[in-house]
Structure 1
């Protein structure tokens, strides 16, 4: 029985993993993807006079993979990526796969007064850009109720 060097030991590929490109590979484990749903949806929120601009990094997703929903005051951004079957090579086996496959989502509370039609979304170069209007809280008007005095 022939013994083949293992990918993660310091024999066959040790010079390959000295490259900074592969830094962190050993600690990630050989079947764990480097990107996780929490690191994939890095978000910047910028406040303007009339709105909040939300930019979410979503590299590797197509526009059709992304869903934006407003429900009970929560804006939820989710994305689903199926395994890319076009990348398989029948002549060899994978040594490393880091591209994300699965579902990720993130929710933001925007308030009960924001309507779906108020939110504008665009997707360009792997970034989802949302514009969520600021809805000013309407002060509740105190109504006076006169109490009749008997007697």
Structure 2
């Protein structure tokens, strides 16, 4: 297996030729950062933006490569959970695939959000071009009224 990297002219300075440079770099990367081979994106959460539009919040989550059926939205109390699950193609096919490199991450990803200030009965969700967009209307503020009580 080999890594395909862009050619960097500065790395190969002919005046300081070192035939062991690549081996030293491999060793340094392995022992200094042993879990980098998992790739930062593979183990990280999906990224979201939350925008306050005054009467509603808009949450946009980047979920590229997911099918709409692989995304679930659940509300339990005041917690919204967004969960997305992707299955590996090479898990489902026989082992005769000709993969040279397999970097795409597979597995289950989830994030939770506090929705205590949101009218959860009127949340709208849309998934288009790898972006999940949730419109989260804010709860209406209860207007406190004053009244006079009669004494019996």
TM-score by length of 1: 0.66
- The separation in 1 between residues aligned to 2:7 and 2:95, in whole angstroms, is 24
Cα shift at 1:141: 7.3
What CA RMSD, in Å, does the superposition of the two structures yield over aligned residues?
3.2
Distance 1:124 1:37, change over 3 A: farther
Pairs within 5 Å for 1:34-49: 34-39=40-45, 41-49=46-54
Any gaps of 5 or more consecutive residues in structure 1? 1-6, 8-12, 21-25, 146-151
- The separation in 2 between residues aligned to 1:137 and 1:37, in whole angstroms, is 40
Contact 1:55–1:127 (CA<8 Å) still a contact in 2?
yes
Contact 1:77–1:107 (CA<8 Å) still a contact in 2?
yes
Distance 1:65 1:19, change over 3 A: farther
- The separation in 1 between residues aligned to 2:146 and 2:7, in whole angstroms, is 68
TM-score by length of 2: 0.65
Any gaps of 5 or more consecutive residues in structure 2? 9-28
Distance 1:96 1:140, change over 3 A: farther
Contact 1:51–1:133 (CA<8 Å) still a contact in 2?
yes
Relative to its length, the structure with more helix (as a share) is 2
Which residue of the other structure, out of 118, 124, 129, is the alignment partner of 1:120? 124
Which stretch shifts more, 117-126 or 105-114? 105-114
Give the 4+ runs in structure 1 shifted more than 6 A: 86-89, 139-145
